[in-house]
Amino acid sequence: MSLLTHLECARCRRAFDPHLPQTYCPDCQAPLLPRYDLQKGRAEVDRERLACRPRGMWRWRELMPVFDERHIVSLGEGDTPLLHARHLGERVGAQVYIKDEAVNPTGTFKARGLSAAVSKARELGQRRLIIPTAGNAGGALAAYAARGGMQAAVFMPADTPWPNRYECQIAGAQVTLVDGLISDAGRLVAERVQQEDWFSVSTFKEPYRVEGKKTMGYELAQAFGWRLPDVILYPTGGGTGLVGMWKAFAELEALGWLEDTTRPRMVAVQAAGCAPVVQAFHRGAARCDFWEGAQTMASGLRVPKSFADMEILSALRESEGTAVAVSDEEIAAAQRELAAAEGVFAAPEGAATLAGLKKLLAAGWIRADERVVLFNTGSGLKYIPPPATGEQV
């Protein structure tokens, strides 16, 4: 079933064995990307046959990294709706679509990445998984580890939205609250991995989460009749989805599945209080600087530096895309507008893409006739503050 052949360093192209647990390239300190026999896929895999399988991310299994499907750990992730947002489109003056990832298990698109990573870990015999998280990845790991009969340990900032802590604990994960950001949680996880037998599924330091996220690119292509939209706005933290979709488009082209190989312009949207990608992009830099004092209500975007910063920046540039920062006030206003105009109660990260769209329309960077996809990466319900003691709920 899976056409996976090897893993490849994103920078030096060295090959790694996918039958062994792998992390990242030790020479380049860079992500490993799964590679498939796409020639064989082109000859033997029919895109319409995959489209007819039961719904969900694993219907793309030839292009997914698990060799034996009995190892797949699934909660029904993927095949999320692509909503044509007509009211919003009329209001802002563009052809707007919302890819609504809020309907995934655990309420965010982190489900896709963790379903892939947990499944592959299970296939490789790993049973103890650990993660540093800004919140939602921890919740997804906890759920998929429980579903796979595995142990999970989650390190998250102490000020992560409370539903994230709760969802981890209820699924039986060990939760450690960290005084600091995801980068500090990452350091503690690296120490713990040295001392105890845990396998880290930290963003891009583990090769398979990106494979779950790339399926968003396949779904978009299918939904648009095997053509791609003109612009994709993606709220960027670690950049898994952005790098993953860019990889997906190259794979679809190699498979010969696209009616038109014109690629979308990829846009990274970040919060003004943590915008390392925006800064590096506009400076023309190949890498991001660590963003000091990261602060935003969009907790998933509180990532001071991504391990895949080079891959994010090169996807933006190859696609002739851009990067834009929006304030928390603009995010909050966009969140209300999305809910009132389209009934989508978006996570602040998802709402940030609408705020970004407005800026790019105002700047003339997006034209009114272009098809634009906003990624709502999670449900706004996961960000509701706890009721104050004594308050009526």
Ligand X SMILES: *Cc1c(COP(=O)(O)O)cnc(C)c1O
Q: Which positions touch ligand X (CB under 6 A)?
A: 108, 110, 136, 203, 235-241, 300, 347, 349, 377-378
Biggest alpha carbon distance in the chain? 65
Which residue, 41 or 139, is less far from ligand X as judged by CB? 139
- Taking the complex as a whole, the smallest distance from the CB of residue 137 to ligand X amounts, in Å, to 6
Q: How far apart are CB 288 and ligand X at their closest, in Å?
A: 12
30: which strand partners?
25
CB of 109 to ligand X, least distance (A): 7
Quote the CA–CA distance of 120 and 88 in Å, as a whole number.
40
Structure tokens at 256: 């010969």
- Residue recorded with tokens 């719904």: 55
Instruction: Please identify, using beta-carbon distances, which residue of 231 and 258 lies nearer to ligand X.
Output: 231
Instruction: Tell me the Cα Rg of the chain.
Output: 20
User: SS3 of 152, please?
Assistant: strand
CB closer to ligand X out of 146 and 277: 277
CB of 11 to ligand X, least distance (A): 19
Instruction: Compute how many other C-beta atoms are within 10 angstroms of the C-beta atom of residue 87.
Output: 13
Q: How far is the CB of 364 from ligand X (least distance, A)?
A: 27
- Cβ proximity to ligand X: between 258 and 310 the closer is 310
- 3-state class of 359 per DSSP? helix
Residue 374 beta carbon to ligand X: minimum distance, rounded to whole angstroms: 12
Between 3 and 175, CB nearer to ligand X: 175
Q: How far is the CB of 249 from ligand X (least distance, A)?
A: 16
Among residues 5 and 279, whose Cβ is nearest to ligand X? 279
Amino acid sitting at position 380: G
DSSP character at residue 378: B
DSSP string, 51-115: HHSPSSGGGGGGGSS-SSGGG---SS-----EEE-HHHHHHHTSEEEEEEGGGSGGGBTHHHHHH
- DSSP letters along 198-263, please? -EE--TTTSSSHHHHHHHHHHHHHHHTTS---SEEEEE-SS-HHHHHHHHHHHHHHHHT--S--PP
The residue with its CB nearest to ligand X is: 300
Minimum CB distance to ligand X smaller for 3 or for 299: 299
| Closer by beta carbon to ligand X, 112 or else 358 | 112
Q: How far is CA 202 from the centre of its chain?
A: 13
Nearest distance from residue 238's CB to ligand X, in Å?
A: 3
